[in-house]
Structure 1
Amino acid sequence: MEYETYQPDLELSDFVKCFWTLRVPAGPDPQKQRIVPDGCVEMIFTLGDDVRRYINETDHIIQPRGMILGQLTEPLCIEPTGAVDTFAVRFFPGGFIPFTTLSMPDLENTETDMSAVFGEEDAANLKKLVVNAANTEERIQIVQAFLAQKLRDAKHIDRILRSTVDLILASKGRVPVGGILQENILKRRQLERRFSKLVGLSPKQLARIVRLQSTLQMLLNNDDSSLTSLAIENEYYDQAHFIKDFREFTGTNPNKFLKDNALVLSTAFYQKE
């Protein structure tokens, strides 16, 4: 498996977290993978064989070959049908707002064909250019030019939204939401509704997911850490609360995470963060 990340140009650096590629040769026994929520919207181009996404244990759909993957609040189960060759854009939380008029909650936990986001003609032209590009560097240039052209007034992302996202990311999700939105209860609820509409997650949901990211990175980089120390360092209320969050977002418990073959892909993503 080859997973690589690339940084965007300065013009898009407030919106795009990274570009990434994934290549996995076809194997005799394709294996399901669970993708863990990370608080980001993804723009994904399938260059290799099709990918299945499981709706339940047995039923699946074929993912669009050019799609926007919305915010995840639960693990997403996918399975390649052959060789994997993927090129994608990962947006910061809230970073996809200037590029669409669609509501972020409408994209939650699902893949949306790019034609529904950018229009039939623009989406078709973009997919054609990306597929026919000679290499990753050329694909990055193509998509950066496309996004720069689509970029609406950056003021569309208001000051409160940007500062709230930045604080959640900087604190690794450990700052209580009440401490972030220090407003009267009515105004706080208004801000939370606006945040959810623009980001696709509530401030509390994003904070939980970002805190889990920090926990996963610690677990991957130091597997000698006890569950108690992981819970304490990431400021969970107690170990039971930590395990509950962990299971909700990964589909397994911390002791089994490193040995779960269905999480190999998610592990690779987090090791590159």
Structure 2
Amino acid sequence: MMEYQTYPPHRDLSSIIKCYWTLEVETSENNGKQIIVPDGCIEMAFLLGDGIKRFTSDDRYVIQPSAMVIGQITKPFAIEPLGYVNTFAVRFYPYGFSAIHSIGMEKLKDKETDLFELFGTRISTELSKQIREANDTKERIHIIENFLLDQFKEKSNQERVVQMAFDTLNKSQGSASIRSIGKLDSSKIRDLERKFLKQVGVSPKQLGKIIRLQTALRLMLDENDKTLTQIAYDSDYYDQSHFIKDFKQVTGLNPSDLFGDKSFLLSTIFYKKE
């Protein structure tokens, strides 16, 4: 059994949280190493099963903490379950986690950070215990929402420029240039880039690349009769080679490997459910 489900957030958190999600995979259904394709979001995850290792090279890995925050992913991110998978997680919008924590999001990029490093041992231990001992997903959502609502700080109008820039990038499927976002001059562009690194963890250009890649991936999954050239143009890539270059940069593989390589199985499940 492999079951992935998403759940909507509380209305008071819907501006910063995209969804909650759960993933359950029986040991017999594990498909070895999995490549997680970037989606531009930051995740807070609780591993309730047998644990997961993340590869730092072809043959080296770290064991992921049982309660962690995964920052922006900008390069191949390969994981492998140690057995039974049972995960409960919060998927924040790119700027969302900065609303509950003051750390610069660029410090979380391309890695997992143990919850105790961000919220302290007492708070993270108690939260993890409550999540683990909860009876079901509904109770876990109630627990995490109480925690997040306590942490949530209303952002100033000035800081909302990052959210507006993200909305522009998202509507353009990642193709909008930073200069076109709000018709900014050079000094304001530099200020927006600094805010992006602080609140999102990557630059507007990097996030736009990830959003555009998302668009292409969904087209590949939903309209698999299209050629790579058609998908590249429909996703606003200059040409097919540009698309292939971006895809290899963040996954380490060619787009044509998506359907034939079992290491993409989790990513295709995640994207089909969006």
Interval containing the TM-score (normalised by the shorter chain): over 0.9
**How far apart are residue 177 of structure 1 and its match?**
2.4
Question: What TM-score do the two structures reach when normalised by structure 1?
Answer: 0.96
Q: Residue deviations 1:188-222, cap 9 Å, x none? A: 12221221221101000001101111110010011
Question: 1:30·1:82 contact (CA, 8 Å) conserved in 2?
Answer: no
Q: Residue deviations 1:114-156, cap 9 Å, x none? A: 0111111111110000000000010001001100011112328
User: Residue 247 of structure 1 aligns with which residue?
Assistant: 248
User: Residue 34 of structure 1 aligns with which residue?
Assistant: 35
User: Residue 260 of structure 2 aligns with which residue?
Assistant: 259
Question: 1:30·1:81 contact (CA, 8 Å) conserved in 2?
Answer: no
User: Residue 237 of structure 1 aligns with which residue?
Assistant: 238
Q: Residue deviations 1:22-57, cap 9 Å, x none? A: 000012875000111111100000000011111101
| Residue correspondences, number | 273
**What's the % identity of the aligned pairs?**
44
User: Residue 270 of structure 2 aligns with which residue?
Assistant: 269
1:268 aligned counterpart, secondary structure: helix
User: Residue 99 of structure 1 aligns with which residue?
Assistant: 100
The change in CA–CA distance for 1:30 and 1:219 in structure 2 (over 3 A counts) is closer
Q: Residue deviations 1:137-192, cap 9 Å, x none? A: 10001001100011112328713111101111122212222211522223212221
Q: Distance in 2 between matches of 1:17 and 1:38?
A: 12
Question: What TM-score do the two structures reach when normalised by structure 2?
Answer: 0.96
Question: 1:98·1:156 contact (CA, 8 Å) conserved in 2?
Answer: no
- How do 1:102-113 residues align onto structure 2 when only pairs under 5 Å count? 102-113=103-114
Worse-matched range after superposition: 231-240 or 86-95: 231-240
Question: 2:104·2:197 contact (CA, 8 Å) conserved in 1?
Answer: no
- Corresponding letter in the other structure for 2:126: N
- Corresponding letter in the other structure for 1:227: L
Question: 1:21·1:88 contact (CA, 8 Å) conserved in 2?
Answer: yes
2:22 aligned counterpart, secondary structure: strand
Q: Residue deviations 1:213-261, cap 9 Å, x none? A: 1110010011111111111111111111111011112222122211111
Runs of 4+ in structure 1 over 4 Å off:
none
2:172 paired with 1:171:
yes
Any stretches of 5+ residues in structure 1 without a counterpart? none
- Corresponding letter in the other structure for 1:76: F
